[in-house]
Amino acid sequence: KQEVTQIPAALSVPEGENLVLNCSFTDSAIYNLQWFRQDPGKGLTSLLLIQSSQREQTSGRLNASLDKSSGRSTLYIAASQPGDSATYLCAVRTVPTGGFKTIFGAGTRLFVKA
Amino acid sequence: GAGVSQSPSNKVTEKGKDVELRCDPISGHTALYWYRQRLGQGLEFLIYFQGNSAPDKSGLPSDRFSAERTGESVSTLTIQRTQQEDSAVYLCASSSSRGGSLQETQYFGPGTRLLVL
């Protein structure tokens, strides 16, 4: 059974700091891994999608890496801003034969102080 | 019990036509989500229903898109006057989360693959 764990559960940093969010998963047979952002009371916004054959993806100040063999992914946020404050979710999609079941981590709640 | 189901599984339509996509969530799940995934891209959130609360429509890309849900059951996503850019896989997910908690796993349906010619 796939389990996704995110550490830390919460993080508070001053504006401008670079930070790393961690995601680990128990079954390396994944199809892809996706990082989402969720703002209070809203749905998910997709940030980065990494296919199982890829090692990293970048978008602006965000960089996500994937080490499938060790069951780990990290989301790096450069030069954090107060607007980055949100909950960040890691989601793993199982291989297609398992159906489109996406397992989400519990999230890391990030607060960036101005 | 049964998982999330969606119908049709595939839909080909002509530009300008209206389409209606259906989602049957897992029984008892109060939260229902619609997402769109274009080829090679991640999920785009479209709309979120939670129980009888007003839905979060912030992800709908234009006023051609609308969705309804009756109580905690079936949801339909309607796209009017379809455009080629609407071609994508439309995914529905449900969860038993209450009060905005994200501790519950979202279970996704198989999706509807829409192709607008």
Enumerate the residues of chain B whose CB falls inside 8 A of the CB of residue A109. none
| A3 phi, psi to nearest 5 deg | -125, 135
Strand duo A72-77 + A62-67: pairing: antiparallel
Whether B99 shows a pLDDT value over 60: the answer reads no
* Rounded percentage of chain B residues whose pLDDT exceeds 70: 88
Listed ranges A41-45, B9-13, B96-100; the one with the highest mean pLDDT = B9-13
Q: What are the distances in angstroms from CA A37 to CA A5, A47, A84, A111?
A: 16, 7, 9, 13
Mean pLDDT of B91-111: 68
Candidates A2, A102, A103, A109, partner chain B, best to mutate (most B CBs within 10 A): A102
Contacts of B55 (CB under 8 A, 6+ apart): B47, B48, B49, B67, B69
pLDDT, position A66:
97
Are the C-beta atoms of A43 and B102 separated by less than 8 Å? no
Instruction: Count chain A–chain B contacts defined by CB atoms under 8 A.
Output: 55
Q: Do A99 and B110 touch (CB under 8 A)?
A: yes
Which three-class secondary structure string do you get for A9-29? CEEEEECCCCEEEEEEECCCC
Whether B1 shows a pLDDT value over 70: the answer reads no
Mean pLDDT of chain B: 85
Give A25-84 pLDDT, tens digit per residue.
998 888 888 898 877 655 567 788 888 889 999 999 999 999 999 999 999 999 999 999
Whole-number Å distance between alpha carbons of B56 and A75 = 27
Mean pLDDT of A85-90: 92
Whole-number Å distance between alpha carbons of B45 and B26 = 19
pLDDT, position A6:
94
Q: Which of A45, A100, A107 sits opposite B45 (nearest CB)?
A: A45
Give B14-67 pLDDT, tens digit per residue.
999 999 999 999 998 888 889 887 875 666 778 888 888 888 787 789 999 999
